[in-house]
Amino acid sequence: MLLAVTEGSFRALMRPSFVTSRAVAHDRASTLARGLLGATLLVAGCAVDNVGAAPTPGELNFPVAVAVTPEASGRQFLLVASSNFDLRYNAGSLQSYDLARMRDAIAGCGDPPCSFDDARAFLVSEVWLGSYTTGMALSPRGDRVYLAVRSEVDLSWIDLDPMTGALGCEGTGQPETCAPRRRTTEVATSCGRTPEISGDPVGVVASRVSNLGGGPSELDYVVMVHRNGHASLFLDHLVEGRPEPLLVDVTDGLPYDITNISFEPASELVWTHSSYNGARLSRDVGFVGVAYDEATPECSQVVPAGRVQLRGVDDGFDTRDAAFSADGSRAYVLSRRPEAILTLDLANQPLFPGEASIDRLSHVGYAPSRIARLDVLGREILAATCFDDRKVWFVDGGTGRTSGVVPGFQGPFELAVDRAGELVWVVDFRDSVIRAIDYAPLETGAEPRLVATFGRVRPVQVLR
Amino acid sequence: MTASRAASSLQRATIALALVAVAACAQQPIGVSVRTFNRPIQLALVCLETATGLGRSMEDCRLDSSGVSPPGLAMHALVLQEARGEVAAVDLVARVVIDTDPAIPGYSFVPVAPLPVSIAVPTVTPSCAFVASAGASEIAAIDLRSFRRESASSAETYPALELPSAPTAMVLDPSEHALWVALTERSSVARVELDGCAFGAVEEIPLSPDVPPSTVGAASDDRSASRFCPTTYEPEPSPTTSPRDVAPLDAVARPAVLAVGRELLVGDRALPIVHRIDLETHAELAPFSVGATLRALAVTPEVPSGYDAGAYTMERFVYAIDDADGTVLAIDYGDPSSPSFGAVLPIGAGSSSRPDRIPFLAGARTLEIVRARYDASEPFAQLCDPASFPRDVRAPQFSVLRGVFLVAGLNDGTVRFVDVFDSDALCRGRIEGSSADCSNVSEPFVYIRRHHPRLGVTPSTVGVVANDVSFVVNGATIRLSDSSSELAEVSCPPTLRPIFGASGDGRSARVCGHTDPFEALPEIWVANWQGPLRGTQATGIFSTLADGRVALDSSIDACAAGVLGSEQAGLAPAPERDLTAGDVIAVTSTLTEEMAGDERCQAVIGIEGGTQSARPVLIPIARAVTRPDELRAPFTSRLLVASDAPVLDRATPGLGIADVVRCFGAAAVRFEVRVRDAYAVTGTRSGALHRVARGSDGTCAIDPSRPTSRQSRARPGLLFANDAIAFEIPTRPASDSSELRVTIGTVPPTLNLDVGAASSVGGARSLAMPTDLLFNDVYQRLYIVDVERRGLMETTMEPLQYTQTRFE
């Protein structure tokens, strides 16, 4: 298999596809890239035919994404994707944990925080996939997990049994190593175009096509956004009666240097968040929408849907995530410049056209990374992981005041709200563990608290 | 296949690690400054004996005439650290952050309960600092000896006072024998008696949820509290404003901020009122209905109504931050018998859409009142006499602050100043001893106006001039002269003044604009022939509706952008009915590969009659609709085109919307909305002003209730006038690529401190978010807390500048 460097990522030249083969033309750049890589390999002195070490089953290795599955027959699961950031193994992983047992363990913890070093005791299922997962989305049906995976430059799609938590991806071995066709997607060519994915994927969202006027269907649409300002649209199509994602369109024209995306369900718009890049400064938050073609779904399109500038703050050049109020009237944009939650008024026109209407700034800790909204007795509370601060901050969305600062992390990153358990699950990237915060104390005005760590702490000195 | 994938992954892994290793060898170590503060949010000042840590009266720390602190005493700043739940002490004389326990690595501060929200320290007989913490719903009394290493071991501990709910704000009663605490969740305030460091009786006072009609003050000529050079300068009058009708966000009071004036003032984050509690009887008085929920309050001392010591009354003001958007309002807090007592005052600057707000271009976070060398009992004692300037201060100028000023920390990382009573006003612009007013050539122009931002430069011109007026035609710039015929001479509307090509009558000019520095914005106005409306550049999809019309659906907000279809333009009142017959869609996409060879489609995109380059496809809009029921996500607007609509500006006969739909199909097209047969007038800061609003059915139409001065379409031969600029272009342009550019570049900036630039080591600027301000009368200094990186900073007033140390 030949390799070429594109947009700072590695891409397989011959990509498997069941509809069309997405071959990337040889060009001078790829030739040069191969030469450079060859030279590097010589320097590194590596045995390139070595398949590498397989991950240790049940182990977390730089977890980057977490989600709570919707309840199905009274059962829920915690999904955790490990990125294999240090490339210690030859694959990343997706694991599902039995949420009820984890909650029970926390409930039985007499003196929190408790540590449950052997997370395998709660593990239900695991599959292995490409390294460098950057985003995860759960199908609204609850039976599929979509992952944006940098090493694949494509969408990986994993089946989930919502009642048992079993993961499957047509792979072999135990845990399963996902089949290649589950680590890439087919390409629709019937609409007179051959979309081609470009750029490092940085995030993925999934929603129902019925929300776009697609009739009473349970099929999904998935938008994956790339660092280089591109977006890819996947639509479910039925193969032997089962939905499978199909790449139907790509677009460019989004802001550059995208690091993450968020999804505003009321408008079905994907928000893009770009990081500070000294060469390209942008205060823009961009939007991506999907124009669904009900008659010929494969002709549906993903389109840039505008952008707004963040002005009147110091300095608006780096945002990382967003959460949205339940009524869709406010957006809570997590910013690194400044390190704050920016409350945006989505209901009223801004004083200056084209600029976001920023009502309030609420400071959080150093290097905020991800945000999620909780609803506590009618109040909107925002939980923000702050990577360099090694804490999770809780801010009242209505007042902008700090509601809690929870320490005890080394590298808090992605988080998921477990409403039934009144817990916030946080993946700790630096320690490769899952941690749980009990947010029930917010109901009485007290601070949330760290109550449990799942997994054996494996600190990585280089990231400290 | 799996194995090869795995091998591929390993190959990539190896390569990546090799590259990382190579890169790492080449990198220099990154210097990281060690910070002791972690999210400082508020400060209090206290005078301490350095040997014993015992508190002394604030006055005891007053500096001598040489600026030296009394021996053995030092002013200390106590700074709340929100993230760690600590109080840090800073010795402002030794200029060090105090590490209370050097045996512990790193800086140790005094721990308090989680989420400290407020700190208060008595100024006369201090023995404890009181810290309210939301995380434990308590007030702690901390022995002041805890803050100095020498005395920490002898500090007493006191039991904390448990509160029935989390405190959100706390202030000291003027008697210093009680604390007032806001209990948001209980819709009340509590008064806590103090006996030294011990807590006494607690009285809870419920707050009424009643909201009377909001009131606004009458427009007034505030010339007596203003000063302008030259004396002929006429500021624009304060406008008449209307009360804001703000619905309560809750059925009960939610006290959030406190300030002490004649009474305890309580800002509410749910009700648009300021509660008032009598400090003696603790009874609730009639609230101020201000039409805004609030997040900060600041109360001025009494100040004279003007600078004439022979004819004045005493006035007082409350400033507040509107919690909805961070804007700052001024409330009359002077004579209780005045009809405007408690009313929001008109200010009228910056943006005509917010005449009842101080014109900051960023939201405010915190307020403070500076009382620099000001004594309300002798307000004119320090008033500068033009005949004899004071010898112990810097010469009067914009950066020397003596008097009363509002200070606001803004979201943009700056601290701004607002004139209330400038003790130097009468000396500004003068030469000492000269009988001639406005005679100082080094400060020839002075603008001081109450409730208006203090200007931060000595401007070289009066007001604003259009220092660059030009036409750009086909890329070539033609700079216009005062008498250029490309612009007609017009009579300026009443709210605008000549700024370019003024005639002798003082009212006519080629370009009119604001000459008031508080009204003008530095920006470039562009009148672009058949140009785009800002906010309409997007991607959309054509579809043919059942009635034969064609829709272009997109995610723009057409009404907010001011789009008018021909149907609504035909129904529009003056002046719009004379300015537009409806806007056009301009499609800028190229043809798909499939249609690229189609000759008629080529004509649609402008490749016809020997023209080889594509041109935008212009299609008249019949109706613009925002958020119609039939539109599905993610689209928000629909531009409707008549079934027989033509493609404009094409030689090929009969090209119409049907051709456009055929050529582009259902592919997403890039487009913008442009004005037709007119110039689109847009300010780089103000944007396109218009009166278009979304009707009940979603149709974008003129809202006649909006001011007619909100315009963005200029027709040749007609006067164009909006809120900020007026001109007339007499003829249609010879070229479609034609635009008028008027640069408003001489607006004096307001006085500000860039908090991120405060540096004692010459380092680079860092991001800033000022979160607390405190003026200290004894030191005559302003203290700024930056929650982001700068920590605590200190500024002098004469002149306004940072001292050499910051504490972070």
Backbone angles phi, psi at A121, to 5 degrees: -65, -20
User: Would the CB atoms of B413 and A354 count as touching at under 8 Å?
Assistant: no
The CA distance from B287 to B270, in Å, is 14
Task: Please list every residue in chain A whose beta carbon sits closer than 8 Å to the beta carbon of residue B700.
Answer: none
Give the pairing type, strands B414-422 and B752-754. antiparallel
Distances (CA, A) of B137 to A106, A398, B166: 26, 19, 4
A343: closest CA of chain B, how far (Å): 10
In order of A5, A213, B462, B511, B769, the CA distances from B498 in angstroms are 60, 55, 12, 6, 39
Q: How many angstroms away from the CA of B246 is the closest CA of chain A?
A: 14
Q: Say how far apart CA B373 and CA B367 lie, in whole Å.
A: 19
Structure tokens at B423: 């003790």
pLDDT at A316: 92
Interchain CB contact of A267 with B (< 8 Å):
yes
Contact between chains at A43 and B18 (C-beta distance less than 8 A): yes
- Hey, what amino acid is at B199? F
Instruction: List, in sequence order, every residue forming a beta bridge with B329; answer none if it has no partner.
Output: B320
pLDDT tens digits, one per residue of A66-89: 999 999 999 999 999 999 999 999
Torsion of CA B9, B13, B15, B16, to 10 degrees: 130
Partners of residue A78 on adjacent β-strands: A68, A97
In the numeric block, which tokens belong to residue A269? 């718009």
Residue A415's contacts (CB-CB under 8 Å, 6 or more residues apart) are A66, A370, A372, A383, A385, A392, A424, A425, A426, A427
Q: Is B84 helix (H, G, I), strand (E, B) or coil?
A: coil
Q: Is A37 on the interface with B (CB under 8 A)?
A: yes
Nearest partner of A175 among A297, A298, A282, A82, judged by Cα: A82
Instruction: Say yes or no for a CB contact (<8 Å) between B6 and A90.
Output: yes
Is the Cβ pair B632, A213 closer than 8 Å?
A: yes
Rounded CA separation B88/A420 (Å) = 40
Nearest residue on chain A to B324, alpha-carbon basis: A359
Do the Cβ atoms of A353 and B535 come within 8 Å? yes
For A:410-429, CB contacts with B below 8 A are: none
Residues B775 and B761: their CA atoms lie apart, in Å, by 25
C-alpha B295: how far from chain center: 14
Q: In which residue are the tokens 């103000």 written?
A: B686
* Bond prior to A255 in cis (omega within 30° of 0): no
The share of chain A scoring above pLDDT 90, in percent, equals 77
Is the CB of residue B559 less than 8 Å from the CB of residue B697?
no
CB proximity A199 to B under 8 Å: no
Q: Is A312 on the interface with B (CB under 8 A)?
A: yes
Cβ of residue B128 closer than 8 Å to a chain A Cβ: no
Phi-psi region of A259 (alpha: psi -120 to 50; beta: other; left: phi over 0): alpha
Beta-strand pair A154-160/A167-168: antiparallel
Q: State the nearest Cα–Cα gap between A190 and chain B, in angstroms.
A: 13
* Token pair recorded at residue A156: 């990986």
Cα angle at B242 between B240 and B246, to 5 degrees? 155
Tokens 């990154």, located at residue? B30
> Exposed, middle or buried by CB within 10 Å (0-12, 13-18, 19+), for A184?
buried
C-alpha–C-alpha distance, residues A437 and A446, integer Å? 13
Identity at A233, one-letter amino acid code: L
Contacts of B16 in chain A (CB under 8 A): 87
Using DSSP's 3-state secondary structure scheme, residue B274 falls into strand
Question: Dihedral, CA atoms, B133, B134, B135, B138, nearest 10 degrees?
Answer: 50
Query: Are B399 and B456 contacting, i.e. CB atoms less than 8 angstroms apart?
Result: yes
Q: Is the peptide bond before A57 cis (omega within 30 degrees of 0)?
A: no
Chain A residues whose CB is inside 8 A of the B185 CB are 445
Cβ-defined contact of B555 to A269 (cutoff 8 Å): yes
Q: Does B220 touch chain A (CB under 8 A)?
A: no
Contacts of B4 in chain A (CB under 8 A): 1
Distinct helix (H) and strand (E) counts, chain B: 6, 54
Task: Say whether B186 sits in a helix, a strand or coil.
Answer: helix
Select from B2, B11, B269 the Cβ nearest to the Cβ of A180.
B2
Nearest partner of B513 among B550, B564, B467, judged by Cα: B467
Residue type, B428: R
Three-state SS at A20: coil
- Indicate whether A14 pLDDT > 70: no
- Alpha-carbon distance A188 to A297, whole Å? 10
Q: Report the distance separating Cα A25 and Cα B371, nearest Å.
A: 72
Q: How far apart are CA B261 and CA B25, in angstroms?
A: 63
- Distance separating alpha carbons of residues A377 and A400, to the nearest angstrom: 17
Query: Which H or E element spans position A31?
Result: helix A28-44
Q: Identify the H or E element spanning B79.
A: strand B73-81
Q: Do A446 and B325 touch (CB under 8 A)?
A: no
- Cβ pair B363:A291 closer than 8 A: no
pLDDT tens digit sequence for A206-234: 999 999 987 778 999 999 999 999 999 99
Judged by CB atoms closer than 8 Å, whether chains meet at A269 and B136 is answered as no
Tell me if chain B has a CB within 8 Å of the CB of A268.
yes
Residue B14: closest C-alpha in chain A: A46
* Cross-chain Cβ contact B14/A268 below 8 Å: no
Q: What is the pLDDT of residues A105-124, one digit of tens each?
A: 999 999 999 999 999 999 99
pLDDT at residue B349 in the model = 55
Under a CB-based contact definition with an 8 Å cutoff, are residues B74 and B144 in contact? no
Q: Which residues of B touch A289 (CB under 8 A)?
A: 555, 633-635
User: Which of B539, B754, B785 is best to mutate for the A interface (most A CBs within 10 A)?
Assistant: B539
pLDDT of residue B353: 66
Nearest chain A alpha carbon to B163:
A445
Low-confidence ranges of chain B (pLDDT < 70): 1-35, 221, 349-353, 392-393, 459-463, 467, 759-763
Q: Which amino acid is at A64?
A: V
On whether the CB atoms of residues A229 and A288 are closer than 8 A, the answer is no
Residue of A18, A129, A184, A363 to mutate, testing the B interface (most B Cβ within 10 Å of its Cβ)? A363
- Token output for B181: 């605490």
- Give the closest-approach CA distance of A84 to chain B in angstroms: 10
Please tell me which of the candidates A16, A357, A405 has its beta carbon nearest to residue B83.
A405
> Maximum CA pair distance of chain A?
64
Q: What one-letter code names the amino acid at A296?
A: T
Report the alpha-carbon distance of residue B643 to residue B653 in Å, rounded. Answer: 16
A368 shares contact with chain B (CB less than 8 Å): no
Q: Does A111 touch chain B (CB under 8 A)?
A: no
Strands B226-229 and B364-372: unpaired
Residue B25 near chain A (CB below 8 Å): no
Cβ distance of B411 and A313 shorter than 8 Å:
yes
Q: Is A211 touching B (CB cutoff 8 A)?
A: yes
Residues of chain A neighbouring B756 (CB-CB closer than 8 A): 314
> Would you call A338 and B767 a contact, using CB atoms and an 8 Å cutoff?
yes
Q: B27 touching A, CB under 8 A?
A: no
- Which of A156, A293, A319, A401 to probe the B interface (max B CBs under 10 A)? A401
Chain B CB within 8 Å of residue A298 CB: no
What is the chain B residue with the closest CA to A49?
B7
Chain B neighbors of A180, CB-CB under 8 A: 1-2, 5
Name the most confidently modeled range: A35-49, A344-358, B227-241, B325-339: B325-339
**Helices H / strands E in chain A, number of each:** 2, 33
The identity of residue A318, as a single letter, is: D
Q: What count of residues does chain A have?
A: 464
In terms of DSSP H, where are the helices of A345-391?
none
Q: CA–CA separation, B514 vs B495, rounded Å?
A: 8
| Distance (Å, whole) CA B766 – CA A366 | 13
**Sequence-distant (≥ 6) Cβ neighbours of residue B394 within 8 angstroms:** B400, B798, B799
Asked if residue A407 has a cis previous peptide bond (ω within 30° of 0), the answer is no
Residue A263 Ramachandran class (φ > 0 left, ψ -120 to 50 alpha, else beta): beta
Identify the helix (H) or strand (E) that includes residue B2: helix B2-26
Contact of A453 with A115, CB cutoff 8 Å:
yes
Q: What is the pLDDT of residue A28?
A: 40
Q: Tell me, what amino acid is at B531?
A: G
User: For residue A300, with 0-12 CB atoms within 10 Å meaning exposed, 13-18 middle and 19 or more buried, which class applies?
Assistant: buried
Kindly state whether B82 is in contact with chain A, defined as any CB-CB distance less than 8 angstroms. Answer: yes
A96 vs A92: CA distance, rounded Å: 14
> Which chain A residues contact residue B670 at CB under 8 A?
253
Split at pLDDT 50, 70, 90, the class of A287 is: very high
Instruction: State how far the Cα of A130 lies from the Cα of B457, in Å rounded to an integer.
Output: 59
Residue-level length of chain B:
808
User: How far, in Å, are A406, B36, B157, B372, B748 from residue B114 at the CA level?
Assistant: 10, 18, 18, 35, 45
| Residue closest to B712 by CA, chosen among B736, B738, B740, B691 | B691
pLDDT of A237 above 60: yes
Shortest Cα distance from B185 to chain A (angstroms)?
A: 9
Residue type, B150: E
Closest CA to B624 of B690, B683, B705: B690
Computed over its alpha carbons, how large is the radius of gyration of chain A?
Answer: 22
